[in-house]
Structure 1
Amino acid sequence: MLAVRMVVAAGKLHQKMLLTIMRCPMTFFDTTPIGRIINRFSSDVDIMDNNLPITCRISLNTFFLSLSTVIVVSVNTPQFLIIIVPVAVLYFIILKFYIPTSRQLKRLESMTRSPVYNHFSESVSGASVIRAYRAQDRFIKESMDRVDQNLVFYYAYFVSARWLGVRLELLGNLLILAAALFGVFSPGQSGAVVGLSISYALQATSVLNVLVINISDLQSNTVSVERIKEYSEVQSEAEWHCKNPPPPGWPRQGEIIFQDYKMRYRHDLDLVLKGISVNIRHGEKIGIVGRTGAGKSSLTLSLFRLIEGTGGSIIIDGVRIADIGLHNLRDKLTILPQDPVLFSGPLRMNLDPFDQYNDDQLWTALQQAHLSEFIKTLPGMLSYQCGEGGQNFSVGQRQLVCLARTLLKKTNVLILDEATAAVDMQTDALIQETIHNEFYDCTVLSIAHRLNTVLDYDKVMVLSNGQIAEFDSPAKLLSNQDSVFYGMAADAKLVNNFQNGGSKES
């Protein structure tokens, strides 16, 4: 029964922690090292699964065994109770001093294990860069230093157990001496009874030592349960689905309204967006530009509610996005991210993770993304296995795969987060051409990495210090030499090109 209940309890704790971590907001992962999370799911879960049940069972067995031993010796030699009371007090004092120390040492040992996992994970993922810079020796030394730091506390924990063992052995020997003296000097005791008492006292020494050590180990290992419970109570994101979802086909127009919207990444940080108010009509193509830290990416994070707002609201087609579930919202928006994300598995799975489209639709999307000819040369074509993170594709090819995935999941709102920042000019031109042709009737918000990609957009939003500095058509902004956008275009040497192009068109 104990084993079954321990397994069930461990499973429930692990399941609760897993569900909580999978639903944590992105700020949690931004502020928590990956090694710390791996440590909870590996070492702490291992202790909870394997060590705790054994320690708990041994503690119960030794407790009842030591209790029966004391009862037998006390019945045969009642004078033994004279020594058992002060020894029990000494046992209690030693435990009172040892267990808090041992628990803290175990906690420190667990904390210093996380940087070991973190460094190892970073070293494995960045092995190619480490070799390129010939920094193997430095990373090996860093790993060894972190292991040594962890072993300092592990050694202290181990030595503290020996400190306890020496004192428990001394008390146990006192019990044996007392049982022998009381047995010899008590009148009318037969040799058999004295032998029984002494043999039980000998057994009591080892049993009591094991009991005390296991009770302390039980408390120390419970730190792992405490750490798992801590991660099971991390604040989660909002609900994935709401009771009153938006109407089917939402958003039909793609009209986006920001009403005095404010946002900060964490409650203890300053505002990143400081009262954004703007109305984006159906089908408008909006280019978002600004210096580093102006709040461009924060705007897109707000649309997907990866970061919740602290004031104001965002309304899409009359629906306040804060009132609907996260899956209800994110399923209706499309994003082409700056960092192309591919998963290990078939190319088909990367294009259509939920298996919603047929082969003809997949090939059409690949053709529109100018990638079909390359895919036909791969062994297995759509069944081709993508490596870890898509490492067997170039960055530009990974971006085109993401573009094909975007074309499959076409919605009325498209967000481009510096989608062409990591590709060459030719691939950039292909992506821009496809977006203009396939998303002509959609609302497009594009964070521009190259200003020339937004010169033909309907409007340009210039952000500065979390606020809208300018919002107008590119032609009007460039006609005003005092505008911020004109200065940015002049720095990029685009002003003359745009004016020359404009005069030829006119």
Structure 2
Amino acid sequence: MHFFDENSSVQILDRFSSDLRIVDELLTETTRLESEKQSEKPAVITSDWPSSGCIEFRNVFYRYFAEAKPVLQELSFVIKSKEKIGIVGRTGAGKSSLIGALFRLASVEGEILIDGIDTANIQLNDLRKRIAIIPQDPVLFSGTLRRNLDPFEEYSDPDIWSALESVGLKSVVSRSWGSLDKPYGENSSVGQRQLLCLARAILRKNRILVLDEATANVDPQTDLLIQQTIRDRFTECTVLTVAHRLHTIIDSDRVLVMDSGRAAEFDDPHTLLQNGNDIFYGMVKSLGSDEFKHFSDVAGN
């Protein structure tokens, strides 16, 4: 049997007291956080909103908090229903901030309209659950596959299996887990977790899909599978893709080039590659002459 001496007991108590102070400080800081601003008179939206997925930014400024310098400035553009938009720019250009503004994660000035409704007039929960997003780091819950794919128990087993089949995971799940009600393995690859997030988006049938560098950490084969799945299953959706690899957006309908928090260029890839002074032209040219020719050929088709 092991006994603690007096000094050991004092050390344990001191460490415990220190941990309690840290927890108390964290709780204090959390209670000081300002609540997210909700609309006082929220708009009434239908169960199928957004039905077309048209997005319009009108002179939008975006700040991380009210007194901060804007990270997005004077953004004004329209994304048409079912358009596939690539969003590119150098590090710090404002690509992810644009997505943050769409979800109203911080302070937004100006208007962001989805199907003609100002998102400032929509309850945040309603807004965020109507837009599907697949981030760079896949977000999964602890628990079963079913809870990850259908946390509110809204869909049938055939619907869930169909979504898994769409992303090439049906056979893997059947072989490795055999059931939707078994815990999903933490040792699964990043690629598998991204595909599971994609299956969740397919299941929910959102009309707007956002990919925030979703393929940055997956192997090229999984990247191709994700891109092909999006082409096949999201033809009726508006898709915004923040690009890490330029080849993932070269066949987009249009490319939005961000620079220092502003929309510097916004046109189809073929047109953007015609001007040697454009930012997008320079980004593709930096990949080498062979890649530039390949990108030009793809964009021209």
Question: Which of 211, 218, 226 is residue 416 of structure 1 equivalent to?
Answer: 211
The residue aligned with 2:250 is 455
The residue aligned with 1:318 is 116
- CA distance in 1 between partners of 2:127 and 2:298 (Å): 40
- CA distance in 1 between partners of 2:88 and 2:41 (Å): 34
Question: Which of 76, 89, 95 is residue 290 of structure 1 equivalent to?
Answer: 89
The residue aligned with 2:51 is 252
Conserved? CA contact 1:241–1:326, under 8 Å: no
The residue aligned with 1:348 is 146
The residue aligned with 1:427 is 222
Segments of 4+ in structure 1 off by > 6 A?
109-112, 226-230
**Structure 1 residues 269 and 400 mapped into 2: Cα distance closer, same or farther (>3 Å)?**
same
The residue aligned with 1:151 is none
- Matching of residue 366 in structure 1 with residue 164 in structure 2: yes
Unpaired stretches in structure 1, ≥5 consecutive residues: 1-108, 118-223
C-alpha offsets along residues 315-367 of structure 1, whole Å, 9 cap, x if unaligned? 11110000110112112111111110112111111111111111100110001
SS at match of 1:274: strand
Tell me which moved more, 326-335 or 431-440: 326-335
Per-residue deviation at 1:110?
6.6
- What letter matches 1:271 in structure 2? P
Question: Which of 194, 201, 204 is residue 406 of structure 1 equivalent to?
Answer: 201
Conserved? CA contact 2:38–2:123, under 8 Å: yes
Per-residue deviation at 1:267?
3.2
- CA distance in 1 between partners of 2:256 and 2:27 (Å): 45
- Matching of residue 386 in structure 1 with residue 159 in structure 2: no
**Pair member with larger Rg:** 1
- TM-score computed with the length of structure 2 as normaliser: 0.87
The residue aligned with 2:173 is 375
Count the aligned residue pairs.
Answer: 283
Conserved? CA contact 1:418–1:447, under 8 Å: yes
**Structure 1 residues 348 and 502 mapped into 2: Cα distance closer, same or farther (>3 Å)?**
closer
**Structure 1 residues 241 and 379 mapped into 2: Cα distance closer, same or farther (>3 Å)?**
farther
Unpaired stretches in structure 2, ≥5 consecutive residues: 1-16
The residue aligned with 1:77 is none
The residue aligned with 2:64 is 265
C-alpha offsets along residues 427-456 of structure 1, whole Å, 9 cap, x if unaligned? 000000010111112111110111111111
The residue aligned with 1:207 is none
The residue aligned with 1:478 is 273
- Matching of residue 304 in structure 1 with residue 103 in structure 2: yes
Conserved? CA contact 1:294–1:463, under 8 Å: yes
Per-residue deviation at 1:302?
1.0
- What letter matches 1:319 in structure 2? I
C-alpha offsets along residues 470-503 of structure 1, whole Å, 9 cap, x if unaligned? 1100000011121110110111233111234567
- CA distance in 2 between partners of 1:480 and 1:358 (Å): 51
- What letter matches 1:278 in structure 2? F
- What letter matches 1:344 in structure 2? S
The residue aligned with 1:338 is 136
**Structure 1 residues 363 and 269 mapped into 2: Cα distance closer, same or farther (>3 Å)?**
same
Identity of aligned residues (%): 47
Higher relative contact order (CA 8 A, sep 6+): 2
Per-residue deviation at 1:238?
2.9
The residue aligned with 1:123 is none
Conserved? CA contact 2:53–2:115, under 8 Å: yes
C-alpha offsets along residues 9-33 of structure 1, whole Å, 9 cap, x if unaligned? xxxxxxxxxxxxxxxxxxxxxxxxx
- CA distance in 1 between partners of 2:193 and 2:73 (Å): 35
Per-residue deviation at 1:254?
0.9
The residue aligned with 2:12 is none
SS at match of 2:280: helix
